[in-house]
Amino acid sequence: MTFKPEHELHTRRKGRNIGVGLMLAGFVVLVLALTFTKVTNGDFELPKAEELTQ
């Protein structure tokens, strides 16, 4: 198994890449929290059977 030496570009852009990574992770967490809130608040509740027959 061989490991290639790290490209200079990765060192140069380390800060930027970490920043983008953290933002993407934050976005995923936010969407998860939003979905959880919407589902538990009943935003996506199915209509009751009697409402459907009316």
Partner 1 sequence: MADASYTTPAGEYDTQLGDYFALLKPRVMSLVVFTALVGLLAAPVFVHPVIAFSSILFVAIGAGASGALNMWWDADIDAVMRRTAKRPIPSGRVPAGEALSLGLALSGLSVMMLGLSANLLAAGLLAFTIFFYAVIYSMWLKRSTPQNIVIGGAAGAFPPVIGWAIATGSFSVEAWLMFALIFMWTPPHFWALALFMKSDYDDADVPMLTVTHGRRATRAHVLGYTLLLVLLAVGTGFTAIGGPLYLAAAVLLNALFLKGAFDIWRRDEAQAEADAYRVEKKFFRLSLWYLFAHFGMILIEAMLRPFGMGGW
Give the whole-angstrom CA distance, residue 19 versus residue 31. 18
User: Quick check: 25 and 18 in contact, CB under 8 A?
Assistant: no
Which residue from 4, 5, 8, 48 is in contact with partner 1, where contact means CB under 8 A? 8
Q: Does 44 bind partner 1 (CB under 8 A)?
A: no
Which residue from 3, 4, 6, 9 is in contact with partner 1, where contact means CB under 8 A? 9
In the complex, the smallest distance separating the C-beta of residue 20 from partner 1, rounded to whole angstroms, is 7
Q: Does 33 bind partner 1 (CB under 8 A)?
A: yes
